[in-house]
Structure 1
Amino acid sequence: MNKEVKIDEAIDKIQDGMIIMVGGFLGCGNPHRLVDKLVEKGTKDLTLICNDSSFPDYGVGKLIVNKQVKKLIASHVGTNPETGRQMNAGEMEVVLVPQGTLAEQVRAGGSGLGGFLTPTGVGTVVEEGKQKIEIEGIEYILELPLKADVALIAGQTADKFGNIEYFGATRNFNQLMATAADLVIAEVEEIVEVGEMDPNHVVTPGIFVTHLVNGGAK
């Protein structure tokens, strides 16, 4: 099965109001061509789940600047002043989540778990509105899983079935998000034939990937 599609066909799958996850860490590991095409399309009222809002002119930060996001769930927003401006002006809802908690929420969503217990955030604003459970004298917050309609991820190499290899730190949230969405679109630098990849280097099995976009195409 060849999962490679043209970038326009892939982006057409994303509609107004959807929940999307986007891999990356301050732009490193963002699927840049997919993000740029989504900005060009102008899809709006999105709920964006990502580690951070990057920079105003880089990666997912462009979606914020273009006012396509109605709700942001992230662990860090300080490098994009527009995120703070929209949040303070009431133009966009921002949910700040401790980074490890965010990663575990995505993992729980991809694993089919009902949630998990963590002491992170106990006694802070993080616990507001959440259930707390005490075990052996220690208080924990019950954090719920995160799932998305679509995940946009970035990898280094994939075969045509969608098995993906990542390069270094670009792996970050991409491998988790590949498991936690109904539809997964992967942008990779190179697409090879099935059987050409060393199976020991595969991190995301192709069974999780719906569509492939060749991010290295000229």
Structure 2
Amino acid sequence: MRVVTPEQAAALVRDGDTVLIGGSGSGHAVPERLIEAVETRFLATGAPRSITSIHPVGLGDRGQRGASRFAHEGLLKRIVCGTIVDAPPIAAMAADNKIEAYTLPQGAISQLIREIAAGRPGLITHVGLHTFVDPRQAGGRQSERATEDLVELIELKGHEWLFFKPFPIDVAFIRGTTADEDGNISMEHEAIFGEMLSMAQATRRCGGLVIAQVKRLTRRGSLPAKTVKVPGMLVDAVVVVPDQAQTYQTFYDPAFAGELKIPLDSFPNLPLDERKIVARRCAMELEAGAICNVGSGICTGIGLVAAEEGLLDHITLTNEQGIIGGAPASGLDAGAGRNYAAMIDQPYQFDFYDGGGLDIAFLSAVEVDPRGSVNISRFAGRVVGIGGFVNISQNAKKMVFGGTLTAGGLKVGAGDGKLTILSEGKHRKFVPQLEQTSYNGQYAKERGQTTVFVTERAVFRTSDEGLELIEVAPGIDLERDVLGQMGFRPMISPNLKTMNERIFRSGRMGVGDHFATATPNVHPRLKALAGAQSASTS
């Protein structure tokens, strides 16, 4: 292992290389200094050219950091990632057809890296069927230049599957906290683990270079062996960045690192606006003992509502980055978490999700059609991507989509048990037709999935006939404020209800007061054992 400067590391990237980059979203374990060094070199010398950038999650602060640093004509040929929205300049290049752009399920890319590490032929999965990832639709393409088929439809044992093809890796940029003199990497200050180990293994399998950005160096043998996340035998070079920040927004939060847990009353309380209203109504779908996913966007507020309502000890919230328990962070820190019980590698979290381990999932919806299908990946001329959305939404037992009924300038008033629309949004989100299908409502119905759509003023569910309105907020005019703001007319339940007025009042709702006395989920064999023990003592 050699210690090199960021500039020396960037010089190792050649024209046409495929660069695999670790980290997630808004700076979580992102090797930012290495990405920056590549940009600086290109602007100064014109090299490297025509690289392919691959990262499972979106990388960027929605400004100029992260993947945005590659948004220079000539530098980037192709990008393959989960989301592009975190890097607006890259999204613009994709929309303008200046690069080959693909957005594939975050979990599929994450797991595919592990398959490459093992030398297996690729990833076979059901995730992505009947969505824009399916080659019968778009195959994950987000630009006309993207002509290569990265995903194939295959049949195995009478069932349809998607086959995600492997890719070569020339250079991997990964990140940790501490490196010793042998190149062993620990991640004690990081907010996520991601798939750093799998990336290093896959790159070594491909004969590529593994370059790790870290915060500090330590003497050989001084790292406790159990804290080593990437062994030195997989690391070729280390770059030391002493001022390495934990995320783009937060320099360091010990709770993100798992060093401490904060009191529940230390979590911030959301203001009583449309975002909190949606989060509160979503929280009413929670059940004691439920294992849940909380996605990015408006649904991250569910963790804060759960903390405010005292629910965190009675449910298990997770996110796709590998956080289990506690409350996933919101805003630009989304992807991190506080008070979690465990942090695992991202591919294993997706194994659990893909296998149906989630009882309830909460995700945002940008567009919804009459059949209950959802688009989040491309709309209004914007290329966004899919992240872990497909892995989560296709496999949870119950799917709850959250979002406002309209967008663009929406403002509401609440506090007295009623909702008032102060300023209506300019854009309708319930539309007759989707630009891309990120979630197929009909396919979900065929698989017996329960689907609910929560907005600040109305709640819908899917039925055999399509979308059905089941609740309306108190104070709202049904025709003017709900049906008149939709691009189609849904069915209206004969048992149409009013949303609980507690959602629209200040203070705690008390939504989970019964959770402490609820019967926890117990495996049937343990129930039988308890019954046998009870019988033997009576």
Q: Does structure 1 conserve the Cα–Cα contact (< 8 Å) formed by 2:112 and 2:122?
A: yes
Q: Which runs of 5+ in 1 are unaligned?
A: none
- What is the aligned partner in structure 1 of residue 29 from structure 2? 29
Give the letter aligned to residue 235 of structure 2. V
- What is the aligned partner in structure 2 of residue 45 from structure 1? 50
Deviation string, structure 1 residues 186-216 (Cα, Å, up to 9, x no partner): 0110111110000010111111111111111
Query: Is 1:97 aligned to residue 104 of structure 2?
Result: yes
Give the letter aligned to residue 179 of structure 1. Q
Deviation string, structure 1 residues 96-119 (Cα, Å, up to 9, x no partner): 110100101111112211112100
Distance in 2 (alpha carbons) for counterparts of 1:53 and 1:159: 27
Q: Which runs of 5+ in 2 are unaligned?
A: 43-47, 136-148, 245-538
Give the letter aligned to residue 63 of structure 2. P
Higher Cα radius of gyration: 2
Q: Does structure 1 conserve the Cα–Cα contact (< 8 Å) formed by 2:176 and 2:214?
A: yes
Distance in 1 (alpha carbons) for counterparts of 2:176 and 2:9: 16
- What is the aligned partner in structure 2 of residue 7 from structure 1? 6
Distance in 1 (alpha carbons) for counterparts of 2:86 and 2:5: 32
When residues 103 and 131 of structure 1 are mapped into structure 2, their CA distance, relative to the original with a 3 A threshold, is same
Distance in 2 (alpha carbons) for counterparts of 1:185 and 1:144: 24
Distance in 2 (alpha carbons) for counterparts of 1:122 and 1:38: 36
The residue correspondences of 1:1-218 to structure 2 (distance < 5 A) are 2-26=1-25, 27-42=27-42, 43-50=48-55, 51-54=57-60, 55-64=62-71, 68-128=75-135, 129=149, 130-166=151-187, 167-181=189-203, 182-216=208-242
Q: Report how far residue 171 of structure 1 moved.
A: 2.1
When residues 64 and 174 of structure 1 are mapped into structure 2, their CA distance, relative to the original with a 3 A threshold, is farther
When residues 195 and 147 of structure 1 are mapped into structure 2, their CA distance, relative to the original with a 3 A threshold, is same
Q: Does structure 2 conserve the Cα–Cα contact (< 8 Å) formed by 1:25 and 1:52?
A: yes
Q: Provide the TM-score with structure 2 as the length reference.
A: 0.38
3-state DSSP class of the match of 1:14?
coil
When residues 217 and 187 of structure 1 are mapped into structure 2, their CA distance, relative to the original with a 3 A threshold, is same
Distance in 1 (alpha carbons) for counterparts of 2:73 and 2:199: 23
Q: Report how far residue 12 of structure 1 moved.
A: 1.3
Distance in 2 (alpha carbons) for counterparts of 1:80 and 1:9: 25
Q: Report how far residue 124 of structure 1 moved.
A: 2.5
3-state DSSP class of the match of 2:160?
strand
Aligned length: 217
Q: Report how far residue 29 of structure 1 moved.
A: 1.1
When residues 217 and 116 of structure 1 are mapped into structure 2, their CA distance, relative to the original with a 3 A threshold, is closer
Distance in 2 (alpha carbons) for counterparts of 1:65 and 1:29: 24
Q: Report how far residue 131 of structure 1 moved.
A: 3.3
Deviation string, structure 1 residues 18-60 (Cα, Å, up to 9, x no partner): 1101111112211121111111101331100012242332223
Larger RCO (CA within 8 A; separation ≥ 6): 1
Q: Provide the TM-score with structure 1 as the length reference.
A: 0.91
Q: Report how far residue 65 of structure 1 moved.
A: 5.5
- What is the aligned partner in structure 1 of residue 311 from structure 2? none
Distance in 2 (alpha carbons) for counterparts of 1:200 and 1:141: 36
Q: Does structure 2 conserve the Cα–Cα contact (< 8 Å) formed by 1:133 and 1:142?
A: yes
**Larger deviation, residues 48-57 vs 12-21:** 48-57
Give the letter aligned to residue 34 of structure 1. L
Give the letter aligned to residue 218 of structure 2. V
Distance in 1 (alpha carbons) for counterparts of 2:184 and 2:4: 15
**Larger deviation, residues 61-70 vs 103-112:** 61-70
Distance in 1 (alpha carbons) for counterparts of 2:95 and 2:81: 16
Q: Report how far residue 67 of structure 1 moved.
A: 6.1
Distance in 2 (alpha carbons) for counterparts of 1:193 and 1:12: 27
**Larger deviation, residues 162-171 vs 202-211:** 162-171
Give the letter aligned to residue 202 of structure 2. A
Distance in 2 (alpha carbons) for counterparts of 1:162 and 1:39: 25
**Larger deviation, residues 60-69 vs 115-124:** 60-69
Deviation string, structure 1 residues 163-198 (Cα, Å, up to 9, x no partner): 111134342133322222210110110111110000
Distance in 1 (alpha carbons) for counterparts of 2:34 and 2:152: 37
Q: Report how far residue 3 of structure 1 moved.
A: 2.2
Distance in 1 (alpha carbons) for counterparts of 2:72 and 2:38: 13
When residues 168 and 215 of structure 1 are mapped into structure 2, their CA distance, relative to the original with a 3 A threshold, is closer
Deviation string, structure 1 residues 72-124 (Cα, Å, up to 9, x no partner): 00001123222221112111111111010010111111221111210011122
